[in-house]
Amino acid sequence: QVQLVESGGGLVQAGGSLRLSCAASGRTFSHYAVGWFRQAPGKEREFVAAISWSGSSTYYVDSVKGRFTVSRDNAKNAVYLQMNTLKAEDTAVYSCAGSGSAYYYTGRENDYGYWGQGTQVTVSS
């Protein structure tokens, strides 16, 4: 079992930055890929980014490429999402999730078995 807790959300002006953290506890965290997902009001949850268990591979949805960076520190059991040049359309609840699947990079929710509760990110225009 892996427990995930997100933090770092908040209110920021458009063009600003936030760094989200995903803290893990439980089973060996370094064995899992981690994805970030977001859900805006009235919309389906969508894949944002993912990072392999080693941190050597990262994947992003097109809308955040060049603005968001996912990283991890397995010694600290943590994954981060650095979000720069934020836009109003980035407003959502952001959740991290752990995956033991080889297909984690596709962003399919069914490949992720462990989920955090989420943290709210609000970007004012």
Q: In the predicted model, what is the mean pLDDT of residues 66-71? A: 98
pLDDT band at 2 (very low <50, low <70, confident <90, very high): confident
Looking at the predicted structure, is the pLDDT value of residue 19 above 80? yes
Number of residues in the chain: 125
118: left (phi over 0), alpha (psi -120 to 50) or beta: left
Give yes or no for a contact between 120 and 63, defined as CB atoms under 8 angstroms apart.
no
Looking at the predicted structure, is the pLDDT value of residue 10 above 80? yes
In sequence order, what E strands does 8-112 have?
Answer: 10-13, 18-26, 33-39, 46-51, 58-60, 68-73, 78-83, 92-99
Express each pLDDT in 75-90 by its tens digit.
999 999 999 999 999 9
Report the distance separating Cα 12 and Cα 94, nearest Å: 14
Looking at the predicted structure, is the pLDDT value of residue 26 above 90? no
Q: In the predicted model, what is the mean pLDDT of residues 112-124? A: 97
Helix, strand, coil % in the chain, rounded to nearest 5: 15, 50, 35
pLDDT at 47: 98
User: What DSSP character marks residue 9?
Assistant: -
Looking at the predicted structure, is the pLDDT value of residue 92 above 90? yes
Neighbours of 6 (CB within 10 A): 22
Residues of the chain with pLDDT > 90, as a percent, come to 92
Looking at the predicted structure, is the pLDDT value of residue 27 above 80? no
pLDDT at 62: 97
pLDDT band at 28 (very low <50, low <70, confident <90, very high): confident
